């Protein structure tokens, strides 16, 4: 198996039905993109987006519960996302870890639930600024990764390295730090050659070429810039300049 580049958008808690024109505008580019393009949407938009976007774009959720169904008001299961047409789901995003106190053990169970439902989990890990400044970035990310992966090795899952301090701040990690952390993450994976590792944190058209050209970076997880079709298109165009398969 080889690793196909992935550019994944994360709309977070943004987006109304009137914003789905985004997919019409993106269609000409995604039809010719060599990378796998995915947009992770609020659950309310998933089924509608699938009607709009054709085959060129995968649609994902942003979180799922560990269980299949049951008395969990406000939660959504991986099976429900799959039923709505999603193919992917983000688990363990730092905003979920922060806002909902999600532990890596829970994230691992969510990743397992996603795989069981036929979804590709995008498992997020990343250190805080304090942890990086204390020289603990590698230790923290390694521990988070080991605890967040599903019990059974699965090359279909995707890992996203997102330094918390780079998310939504406009501060992107130094290229050498990204390269070293991705190399380290790969060394910790049960199926290192086949598992895709995305970088996330203030990825924009202007920095995407440098980031995506790193040999252990298999794509990007894009927040703010995925809300603007011009910016997201610029990142997809940057991916076209790279070898689509690693």
Q: Which residue is nearest to ligand PGA (CB)?
A: 223
Are 89 and 122 contacting, i.e. CB atoms less than 8 angstroms apart? yes
CA-to-CA distance for 142 and 222, rounded, in angstroms? Answer: 22
CB-wise, 167 or 197, nearer to ligand PGA?
167
Q: Work out how close the CB of 168 gets to ligand PGA at its nearest, in angstroms, rounded to a whole number.
A: 4
Q: 221 - beta bridge partners?
A: 8, 200
Integer Cα distance of 233 and 6 in angstroms: 13
User: Of 36, 93, 102, 182, which is the active-site residue?
Assistant: 93
Nearest distance, CB of residue 175 and ligand PGA, angstroms: 16
CB of 212 to ligand PGA, least distance (A): 14
Q: Would you call 130 a catalytic residue per the annotation?
A: no
By beta-carbon proximity to ligand PGA, the closer residue of 145 and 167 is 167
Both tokens assigned to 4: 């196909």
Beta carbon of residue 151, minimum distance to ligand PGA (angstroms, whole number): 25
Catalytic residue at 162? yes
Residue ranges in contact with ligand PGA by CB under 6 A: 10, 162, 167-168, 200-203, 221-225
Nearer Cβ to ligand PGA, position 150 or 201?
Answer: 201
**For ligand PGA, the closer CB: 60 or 201:** 201
Between 60 and 150, whose beta carbon lies closer to ligand PGA? 60
CB of 125 to ligand PGA, least distance (A): 12
> Which residue numbers are catalytic?
93, 162
């Amino acid at each position: 198996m080889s690793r196909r580049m992935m550019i994944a958008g994360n709309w977070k808690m943004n987006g109304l039905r009137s914003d789905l024109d985004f997919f019409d505008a993106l269609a000409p580019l995604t039809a010719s993109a060599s990378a796998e393009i995915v947009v992770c949407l609020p659950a309310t938009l998933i089924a509608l987006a699938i009607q709009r976007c054709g085959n060129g774009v995968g649609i994902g959720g942003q979180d799922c519960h560990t269980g299949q169904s049951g008395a969990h008001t406000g939660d959504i299961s991986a099976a429900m996302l799959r039923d709505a047409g999603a193919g992917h789901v983000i688990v363990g995003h730092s905003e979920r870890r922060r806002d909902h106190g999600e532990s890596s053990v829970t994230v691992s169970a969510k990743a397992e639930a996603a795989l069981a439902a036929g979804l590709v989990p995008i498992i997020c890990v990343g250190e805080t600024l304090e942890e990086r400044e204390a020289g603990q970035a590698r230790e923290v990310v390694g521990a988070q990764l080991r605890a967040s992966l599903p019990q059974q090795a699965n090359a279909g899952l995707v890992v996203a390295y997102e330094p918390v301090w780079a998310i939504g701040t406009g501060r992107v990690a130094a290229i050498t730090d990204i390269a070293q952390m991705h190399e380290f993450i790969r060394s910790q994976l049960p199926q290192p050659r086949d598992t895709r590792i995305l970088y996330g944190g203030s990825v924009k058209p202007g920095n995407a070429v440098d980031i995506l050209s790193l040999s252990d970076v298999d794509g990007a997880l894009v927040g703010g810039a995925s809300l603007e079709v011009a910016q997201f298109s610029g990142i997809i165009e940057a991916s076209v300049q790279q070898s689509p398969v690693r």
